Amino acid sequence: MALTRDFILGLFRETEALLEGHFILTSGLHSDRYFQCGRVLQYPWHAETLCRDLAARLPDGRFDAVVSPAVGGILVGQEIARALRVRSMFTERQDGRMTLRRGFAIRSGESVLVAEDVTTTGGSVMEVIEAVQAAGGRPAAVAAIVDRSGGKAAALFGLPYTSLLQMDVQTHPPEDCPMCKAGGQAVKPGSRGLK
């Protein structure tokens, strides 16, 4: 039986993974809500529950591997790959571009699921799709725990897209952010820019 929206939101609230305030997202946009998936995924039993359910919702088809963007997508990719019983790899930024490192390799034509914790603009997912294609793989679908784009990001991928939780969370360019205009100080809890 698929997890309900109320159950998933309950896990995020229980683990304090749904934050409210003034945040700078990975995309550079500002928002009053932030999904800190690491807080819910720090409990392996929650990670397993969420990702097993996400894997069960994927479109029919065989995947040879799961590839995720570092850092936020690593645990999601690992748990989905465990449920699917396939390899799990992740991309990292090198010279500003997502790339496979650490000896990870995709064989020509392998069917790859791209997995992420949260999608907003879909930028990180697009970078992973490009890295998979550059390595000779065939991106076949995209999965995320949270789609905070209100469904808009899926149109960018050109692939089947599955998420556990879809939210339409308002985002603002920094120059138009009402919280900034009111004198609020934004914080950046994400992992982009880690060295």
- Domain span including residue 89: 44-168
Name the residue type at position 92: E
* 11-67 per-position pLDDT tens digit: 999 999 998 889 998 778 898 888 899 999 999 999 999 999 999 999 887 999 999
More confident residue, 193 or 163: 163
* 57-115 per-position pLDDT tens digit: 998 879 999 999 998 899 999 999 999 999 999 999 988 899 999 999 999 999 999 99
Residue 162 resides in a domain: yes
pTM of the prediction? Answer: 0.87
Residue 194 resides in a domain: no
Residue 14 resides in a domain: no
CATH code of the domain in which 161 resides: 3.40.50.2020
The DSSP-derived string for 132-194 is HHHTT-EEEEEEEEEETBTT-THHHH-S-EEEEEE-B--EE-GGG-HHHHTTPPPB--S-TT-
* 164-183 per-position pLDDT tens digit: 999 888 889 999 999 988 88
Residue 189 resides in a domain: no
Residue 49 resides in a domain: yes
Number of domains forming the structure of the chain: 1
